[in-house]
């Protein structure tokens, strides 16, 4: 009898958890409707059949917009590359101030790219510096880059470190529409990704980097940074350039991108985000793989490569493929106006070719910044592994009838192998090897202490 009573209590507790889930609450809340409110959920529930849902792919590139980085972006986002509606493909640049060449900002803006903020100093955000950084960088991009302030609507914090509720609050106050800082981990390729949503019910997922917003921020968008699976489908990577198993050559890099793309395209058609830094392209195989990947997408008439702000416009007004040609926010008539508006800006500036020494210096600066981001990621993974271990030991200690809560597919995820194979990441871009991380472990463990 006592066992039965206990079971009832436990089941009740579990149902309670389910009912309190913010995403479920939101979906039951009849007032949450686009364009002002969009629930968190792992698939789109629009009255549009999957075949008539466009697969949106959004690219985001972080950090200073240097001349070196711009060369890669100009190649990949060549103005002759068009979406099925006849408009050029677009991307989002999260730009930090230091080392940015603002001529490039203006140039990409005029080509229809989205210009967004990534702080002035690229330092760690806190409740004391956040407001100033978010305000100042918006005005830098406007004044120095010639981008209208009302078109700078996106923010991403350095190192993907949020500062809690103050972040959406202040961003909203400053006229930003969305944040793209919070991370979401896919454990397997087949895991569904969340769609960008409004924080009407706070951040409803696991908080990977604390503190996440807990309160409601009505109508303010969060575009989660959803991890990819590496080319071996083994570990997840927050950034394309942050994989434990970096692809060793062009075919594997291409396959890595295609596999991740297909995990969206062939299933839910949730918008697919490719978040990265330009330093990945210093290895020619990777640049070529990305080039080929984009070419493949361009041949598909149900795939659109658009910036994050355009992705949000679509979510606010979900339009089927068959009507997308007339979808106003994705039209490009305004591009000519952008180009004419400040022709004078560029006329009196010459494009300068970089010397080898300048290229090297920029490369080193970028690498240092990237290494710090990687360190942050290693820290995160360690925390996650610890949580997993704790969950596992809870599972072992639990009575036989309690509901299993062991996460799938984590047998290979020991904190020790994780840490070492992550150290491999720090080395791999400079010194490409196709060696198995296991074999390289000892060598790298000693090397990485010197970075
Ligand atoms: C863009 O594409 C055109 C036509 O294919 C080509 O001539 C041009 O060199 C490309 N520009 C860049 C920067 O790659
Ligand atoms: Zn950054």
Distance 371 CA to ligand 2 centre (A): 11
Q: What is the dihedral of CA 356, 361, 363, 369, to 10 degrees?
A: -170
**Structure tokens given for 109:** 């803006």
Say what the pLDDT of residue 358 is. Answer: 66
pTM value is 0.76
pLDDT at 380: 77
Tell me the percentage of the chain whose pLDDT exceeds 70: 76
SS3 198: strand
Atom number, ligand 1, closest to the C-alpha of residue 80: 2
Query: Ligand 1 pocket test: which of 80, 82, 107 has the largest number of ligand atoms within 8 Å of its C-beta?
Result: 80
Ligand 1, atom 8, residue with closest C-alpha = 78
In degrees and rounded to multiples of 5, residue 383 shows phi and psi of: -60, -40
Distance (angstroms) between ligand 2 centre and the Cα of 319 equals 33
DSSP characters over 115-182: EEE--SS-----TTTHHHHHHHHHHHHHHHH---GGG--EE--GGG---TTHHHHHHHHTT--EE---
Which residue's CA is the closest to the ligand 1 atom numbered 3?
80
Q: Residue ranges of the chain with pLDDT lower than 70?
A: 1-20, 42-43, 341-356, 358-359, 362, 388, 390-451
Pairing assessment for the beta strands 217-222 and 197-199 based on DSSP bridges = antiparallel
Nearest Cα residue to atom 14 of ligand 1: 75
**Tokens 């951040």 belong to residue:** 203
- The residue assigned the tokens 């949730």 is 270
Considering every ligand atom shown, identify the ligand nearest to the alpha carbon of residue 117 and give its number.
Answer: 2
C-alpha span between 301 and 11 (Å, rounded): 48
Residue 374 structure tokens:
């990687």
164: left (phi over 0), alpha (psi -120 to 50) or beta: left
**Residue pointed to by tokens 């600066």:** 365
* Element of type H or E holding 317: none
User: What is the structure's pLDDT at 427?
Assistant: 34
Structural tokens at position 170: 């202040």
Position 46 scores a pLDDT of 76
- Return the pLDDT at 393: 57
Question: Who lines ligand 1 at CB under 6 A?
Answer: 74-75, 78, 80
Among 57, 46, 44, smallest CA distance to 304 is for 57
**How many CB atoms within 10 Å of residue 401?**
9
- Alpha-carbon torsion 226, 171, 111, 270, what sign? positive
113-60-109 Cα angle (round to 5):
15
Bridge partners (DSSP) of residue 178 are: 154, 221
What is the rounded distance in angstroms from the CA atom of residue 429 to the CA atom of residue 433? 9
- Report the pLDDT value the prediction gives residue 239, as an integer from 0 to 100: 96
The CATH number of domain 31-345, selected from 3.20.20.370, 3.40.190.80, 3.20.20.70, 2.115.10.20? 3.20.20.370
Task: Give CA–CA dist 441/437, Å, rounded.
Answer: 6
Give the separation between CA 222 and CA 179, rounded to whole angstroms: 5
pLDDT tens figures, 356-386: 676 677 677 777 777 777 777 777 777 777 7
Domain boundaries, the chain: 31-345, 364-448
Q: Which atom of ligand 1 is nearest to the CA of 71?
A: 13
């Amino acid at each position: 009898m006592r066992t039965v009573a206990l079971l009832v209590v436990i089941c009740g507790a579990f149902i309670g958890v389910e009912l309190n889930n913010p995403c479920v609450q939101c979906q039951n809340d009849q007032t949450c409707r686009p364009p002002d409110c969009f629930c968190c959920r792992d698939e789109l529930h629009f009255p549009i059949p999957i075949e008539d849902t466009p697969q949106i792919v959004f690219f985001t590139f972080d950090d200073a917009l240097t001349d070196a980085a711009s060369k890669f972006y100009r190649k990949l986002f060549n103005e002759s590359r068009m979406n099925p509606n006849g408009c050029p493909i677009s991307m989002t640049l999260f730009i930090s101030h230091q080392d940015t060449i603002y001529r490039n900002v203006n140039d990409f803006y005029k080509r229809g790219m989205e210009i967004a903020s990534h702080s002035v100093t690229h330092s760690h955000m806190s409740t004391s510096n956040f407001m100033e950084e978010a305000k100042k960088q918006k005005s830098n991009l406007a004044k120095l880059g010639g981008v209208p302030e009302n078109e700078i609507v996106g923010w991403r914090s350095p190192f993907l470190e949020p500062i809690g509720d103050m972040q959406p609050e202040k961003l909203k106050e400053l006229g930003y529409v969305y944040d793209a800082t919070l991370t979401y981990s896919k454990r397997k390729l087949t895991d569904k990704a969340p769609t960008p949503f409004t924080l009407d019910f706070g951040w409803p997922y696991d908080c990977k980097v604390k503190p996440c917003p807990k309160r409601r921020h009505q109508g303010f968008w969060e575009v989660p940074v959803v991890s990819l699976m590496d080319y071996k489908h083994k570990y997840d990577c927050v950034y394309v350039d942050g994989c434990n198993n970096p692809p060793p050559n062009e075919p594997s890099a291409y396959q890595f991108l295609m596999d991740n793309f297909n995990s969206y395209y062939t299933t839910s058609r949730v918008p697919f985000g490719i978040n990265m830094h330009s330093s990945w392209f210093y290895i020619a195989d990777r640049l070529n793989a990305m080039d080929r990947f984009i070419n493949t997408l361009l041949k598909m008439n149900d795939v659109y490569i658009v910036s994050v702000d355009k992705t949000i416009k679509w979510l606010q007004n979900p339009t089927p493929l068959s009507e997308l040609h007339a979808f106003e926010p994705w039209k490009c008539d305004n591009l000519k106006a952008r180009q004419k508006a400040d022709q004078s800006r560029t006329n009196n500036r010459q494009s300068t070719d970089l010397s080898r020494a300048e290229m090297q210096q920029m490369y080193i600066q970028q690498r240092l910044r990237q290494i710090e981001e990687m360190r942050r990621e290693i820290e995160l993974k360690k925390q996650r592994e610890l949580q997993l271990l704790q969950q596992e030991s809870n599972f072992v200690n639990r009575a036989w009838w309690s509901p299993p809560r062991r996460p799938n597919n984590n047998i290979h995820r020991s904190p020790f192998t994780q840490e070492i194979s992550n150290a491999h990441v720090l080395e791999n871009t400079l010194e490409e090897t196709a060696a198995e991380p296991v074999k390289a472990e000892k060598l790298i463990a000693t090397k990485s202490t010197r970075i």
